[in-house]
Structures are given as structure tokens and as C-alpha cells.
Structure 1
Amino acid sequence: MRFDNKTVLVMGGNSGMGLASAKAFASEGAKVRITGRNPKTLDEAVAAIPDAVGYQADISDITATERLISRIEAQDGKIDVLYVNAGVGGFAPLRDISEEDWDFVHSVNLKGCVFAIQKALKLMGKGGSIIVTGSIGAHVSLPGNLTYAAAKGGLYAAVKVIAGELVSEKIRVNMVSPGPIDTPLLHRNPGMDDKAVAALKEQMLGAIPMHRMGEADEVARAVLFLASDEASFITAANLFVDGGALELR
């Protein structure tokens, strides 16, 4: 059991890759705490994870993140593993991007994630591990992906800087960058109807050498590896879980 007596906070743990990872952490002995914006899916997630605790919180609200960390401090006193998975989509071509959509995506995918790490640090110490969800979208030119790619690209740069700042404190910081994974996020892109989502999935499948979408559990296994002592000599890494889509272009 790699995470016995470890407190694991999964931000954005109420669906998709976050939920799959939260379940996997719990199955390996962790005390799992999850966040999510949707109270219904949050309650459903907590019910599916033994001894989990859920907190309704929006990662784009920095004050809410501070309250969350204070509650975990009072309950658990520490965070051993932080998995920052919360994110939103935002597909639109350059001419159609609105300032509101740009700010919304960046407030969650970049600003919110960075400040979540900052606030959680007060409960982390030697041996701590931070994992952040990136995306191969930050490393390829996909038309319509400007807003999302810019946010995830900024997050990738931030993770490298944060890893360098924390290495002397013996806190490891790594990123897992999924390729096309069939999760609820894919269906929650502003301005995209079901037909547009289906077309996007077809475009994605054509770029994957394995000729299939990935599954949330496959990302979860990578997350748990990076969080565990098996990855004790790994920091500032960006692990692609993409069926070869980036490496075999």
C-alpha cells in the first residue's frame, strides 16, 4: 500500500481523471480529500470513495482555496500529496475568442492552479509530492485550441519554476499531460454542441497512433506513480499519457 497514512488532496476530484485518481489513492491506503464545484457530482464521488471527505470549492476563487486549506489543516494537519486536476475546456478559433472566455479558462487552468499550490504549501513538508494536470494541447498546434493551450502552456512553465523553488525543501513537483481522454470535460467546452464535440473527437482519434481515446484510469496510474516513492528521484517531469500522439508525430 503505497499511500498508507498519507493525506491526499485531489482538487477537481469529483469526475473524470480526478475521480479515477482519488479512487486509486484510496485503494492504496490514502486518506482522500476531494474538491469540486458541482455539489451533486461531489456527493456522488464521496459516496464512491471509502472514508473520503468532499469540499465544494471553485479553484478560481483564491479565498475559497484558502478556506479549504484551513479546513484540511484543522481536520488532518497536513497534506502529503496534492493533485491539482481542476480544469475547464475552451475551444474557439482566434476570431471567436471573447475576453470573458479567455479570463474564465485562465482563472481556472492557470491562476487557480498556481495559487492552489501556493496555499497548500503551508501543510506540506519533506517528502511531499505535487502533481498537476497539464495537456499535450500545450505542445501542439491544434486550431481552435488557443485559449486552453495558452493556459496549459503557462501552467507547464509554472510547474518547472515551482519544482526548482521547492527542490531544496524535498518537495517534488511533476506534471502529467494527457492526450485525448474521454472524460466529462470534453463535453463541457463553451460554444461547442454535440456535433462539434463529435467532430473534435474524430480529429483527435486521427492523431493518435494507438487509434483510441485514453481512459481516466490510465491517467490515474501515471498520477499515482509520480506521487509515490517509486518516483523519488523525479521532479519537474512532464509525463505524457497520450497513446503516442505527441512523441510519434
Structure 2
Amino acid sequence: MSSSMRTILIIGGTSGIGEAFAKRWHSAGKKLVLTGRREARLKELEAELPGTRTYAFDITDLKAVPGHVKALFEKNPDIDTVWINSGKGNLYSIKDPSSFPDEAVIDEINTNITGPMIIARHTIPKLLAKSTPTNFLITSSGLGYAPNGTFPTYPPGKAFIHHYMAGIRGALKDTNVNVIEIVPPMVRTDFHQQYSEVSKGIPCMSLEDFVNDTFKQLDGNKAEDLKEVAAGSAQERVDFWRAGPGKYMEKMKIPG
């Protein structure tokens, strides 16, 4: 896949998985455009990763998203790969509405679902307009393949992303846009540390191992052959889905 990626826009690239992938791609000589909410952190990454371009915006400011996408492509017309990695997960009790405000639920859904869908609507036509292969990626989660009541909103949001990616992959079949879902298991990042108390005893993959395992698949396969790229315990969940609903889709000749 790497040969079809030259300039990569990472939406949500200032920490964790996004930052780790940015550093890996930078070391491979890829051009990078990084976005995030924290302008100061973006400036630090510009200095750390010479040649990297940055752009600050908040994907939950839904009305502003189309304008940001337009500006990003005007400033960086060489973008051929878009990866939406931004995400948010919150622990709360469905038994107790006072444990979490409605506004936070809305913010989580806008971060994980609505914002990425609007970005997709405005980036994919730009990728389709190019004469060379392009790539569209979103990070989901192994939690999207099995419910988890500890995080009432996060797993269904990631399940939504999985179905969305399978659907648009079918819609973009035989075009120049490759649609790839990145599916991490629980990975040792700041996100994981935030909820370390409730995740005790649950296998957790190191960030380094996750990046290495994911890049083995990205580097070892043609982009058009990739669908879900999973690692660790998330791979079993993806395989189970492909052996069930995925097989049904094949039987019904539904691409995705």
C-alpha cells in the first residue's frame, strides 16, 4: 500500500496512535499534513518532523468542517491519502444520568461519527477527482465489533464507523479510492491510561507493537486488497464479522 501514499492528511495526529503513525510515515519519507485541536502541539510536531505541515481545527464544529476541508486541499493539493484518526471515549453509568451530561454524549458522537461522516462527504469527491490511486482511512476499534456497557456510547459509535466504511467501500468499488478501516485493540496510550482502573486484567497491546503489526499489513499488501486492518485481539473480532455478516454480503453480492 505504501507506494500509493505520498502525501497523507492525518486528522487527529497530535498524540497516541495518530502521532505514532505520523512519525512512522515521516521516517519513510512521506509528506504529512497533521490536524488537531491543539495548535501548540501541532507547532511542536512541525519542529520535530521537518517538512510536516499542520492545520488546527475541531471536527465537532460541524458547520465549519466543509470550509476546513476546502482550505486543507487548497493549501495542500497533493494530498492523496486521508486518515481520520480523531476519536473520544467516555466511561459512564447508564444507570445514573448524573454520571455524565447529555452534552458530553453529543460531543462524543460528533467526534466519532458525525464529524468523520461530514469530512468523508467533502474529501472523497476530491480524491475521486485525482487521476492516481488514493486512500481513505478511518480508525475504528475492536470494541466496535462487540458491545461493552462500560463505555455505552463508544462501541456503538465505532460499530457505526465499521458499517459506514463497508458501505462506502462498496459504493466506491472500481474507483481510484481505496477505503481502509484501521481496527486497534486496546492499545497502551494516554486514552488507555485514562481508564486504567476499569481495564485491569484486560490484555493491552503496546503502541509500538500495534504500529509494527499494522504496518506489516499496510506495507505488505496492495491498497485495493485491504478492507479492515486489525491487530492483536481486534483481529479475531474482525475475522468473526467477516465469517458471518461478511459472508452474507458476499452471498447477496453486496460489495463491501
Please classify the TM superposition score into its range, dividing by the shorter chain length.
0.7 to 0.9
Partner of 1:192: none
Match of 1:119 among 104, 116, 122: 122
Structure 1 residue runs without a partner (length 5+)? 189-196
Q: What are the superposed Cα offsets for residues 119-178 of structure 1, whole Å, 9 maximum, x if unpaired?
A: 112331341111111111112232312210111111111111111111232211111111
TM-score (norm 2): 0.80
TM-score (norm 1): 0.82
Cα distance in 2 between the residues matched to 1:224 and 1:246: 18
Cα distance in 1 between the residues matched to 2:228 and 2:13: 20
Provide the aligned C-alpha RMSD in A. Answer: 2.7
Instruction: Say which SS state the counterpart of residue 233 (structure 1) adopts.
Output: helix
Match of 2:146 among 97, 120, 140: 140
Aligned CA distance change for structure 1 residues 94 and 140 (closer, same or farther; 3 Å): same
Count residues in correspondence: 233
Structure 2 contact 13–35 (Cα < 8 Å) conserved: yes
Cα distance in 1 between the residues matched to 2:221 and 2:76: 24
Structure 1 contact 10–34 (Cα < 8 Å) conserved: yes
Q: What's the offset of the Cα at 1:29?
A: 2.0
Structure 2 contact 214–231 (Cα < 8 Å) conserved: no
Partner of 2:54: 54
Partner of 1:239: 229
Instruction: Say which SS state the counterpart of residue 167 (structure 1) adopts.
Output: coil
Q: What's the offset of the Cα at 1:81?
A: 0.9
Aligned CA distance change for structure 1 residues 146 and 65 (closer, same or farther; 3 Å): same
Partner of 1:83: 83
Aligned CA distance change for structure 1 residues 93 and 49 (closer, same or farther; 3 Å): same
Partner of 2:196: 198
Structure 2 residue runs without a partner (length 5+)? 241-256
Structure 1 letter corresponding to 2:151: N
Partner of 1:92: 92
Match of 2:172 among 155, 166, 171: 166
Which stretch shows the higher mean deviation, 63-72 or 148-157? 63-72
